[in-house]
Amino acid sequence: MTATILLFLAFGLCFGLATLSNRHLFSEGPSRKGQAGGDDDTLSQRVMWVLICSTLWPILALTGVYSLVRRARVRADDARSRNRPG
C-alpha cells in the first residue's frame, strides 16, 4: 500500500515538473505567460505547483486534455470561418 502511494506522489512530482511551463492550461488564471496577474515564476510558485500536482495530477491531466481539445476546436472553427466566401 505504501509503495502505491509513493508511486502516485512520485508520478505527480514528475507531472508537476514536466508541466511547469504550461501551468496556464490547468488553471483559471491568465491564459498566457506574462499577462496581467500572471506568474513571475518564482521558486515558491514552482514549489507550490509541484506540490499541487503531486496530489491532484489525475484531475489536472483531465482538465489539460479538455483544454487542448477545446483550443483545437476553436482553432478549427476560426480556420473554417476565415475560409468561407462572403
- pLDDT per position as a tens digit, 22-77: 776 676 555 555 555 555 568 888 888 889 889 999 998 888 888 888 888 988 88
- pLDDT given for residue 5 in this prediction: 94
> Is residue 28 exposed (0-12), middle (13-18) or buried (19+ Cβ within 10 Å)?
exposed
- pLDDT given for residue 22 in this prediction: 77
State the pLDDT confidence band at 12, using cuts at 50, 70 and 90. Answer: very high
- pLDDT given for residue 35 in this prediction: 57
Per-residue DSSP letter, 31: S
- pLDDT given for residue 49 in this prediction: 87
- pLDDT given for residue 60 in this prediction: 87
Whole-angstrom CA distances from 64 to 44, 70, 80, 83 are 23, 10, 24, 29
Dist CA 57 CA 43 (whole Å): 20
Full DSSP string of 42-56: -HHHHHHHHHHHHHH
